[in-house]
Amino acid sequence: MPAADSPVRVERIVDDAVMRSVQELRVSGDQYRFVGDTAFNLGNSLRDPMSEAMAVFAGETVVGFYRLDFAPRAIAGRDWPEPAVGLRAFVIGLAYQGCGFGAGALTATSADLRRRHPGRRLLALTVNCTNHAAIAMYRKAGFTDTGELYLAGSSGPQHVMLYRLQPQALT
């Protein structure tokens, strides 16, 4: 178990050992309906040329996973006024929850996107309206609720949230 003060970083998944570690991540039964099966989400993102499968590390331990989705209209089935990337299937393994790794992962994600994808201005996501812990974490990390609800999700209504990666372009 990594220490709660372990540095958090994110990396694109290219290594078989990291893939296995991600596939072993588990969440509680009530969280499963929000994030689905991590092994399935990993495989799906690795096959999609418009996605990047990402691992979250605390120190040298894989503690989480998420998918970056670059497909147009990937989040909430809508276009954004500025170049955006979608954050999907974000999960911190059950054994690592409550240690601040989720907030650390979001900070590392935004820094990674600024470095590797400087043309992207927004990070977009949807989060189930009843997933109060996730909503609080996203707000704490600097995401803002657009006030829009996405109603086509399989697990019920979802808030649409945005995080500004780069300053707004001048018009």
CATH code linked to domain 8-164 = 3.40.630.30
Domain ranges of the chain: 8-164
The pTM is what?
0.93
Per-residue pLDDT at 32: 86
Strands (DSSP E) found in 8-82: 8-12, 51-58, 61-69
Express each pLDDT in 10-43 by its tens digit.
999 999 999 999 999 999 888 888 888 999 999 9
Per-residue pLDDT at 134: 93
Per-residue pLDDT at 155: 75
What are φ and ψ of residue 57, in 5° steps?
Answer: -115, 140
**Could you tell me the CA-to-CA distances from 53 to 75, 86, 138, 141 in Å, in that order?**
16, 12, 20, 21
Per-residue pLDDT at 94: 94
47 token code pair = 């096959």
Per-residue pLDDT at 170: 57
The percent of residues in the chain predicted with pLDDT above 70, rounded, is 98
Torsion angle of alpha carbons 153, 118, 11, 51, nearest 10°? 40
**Positions in the chain whose pLDDT score sits under 50:** none
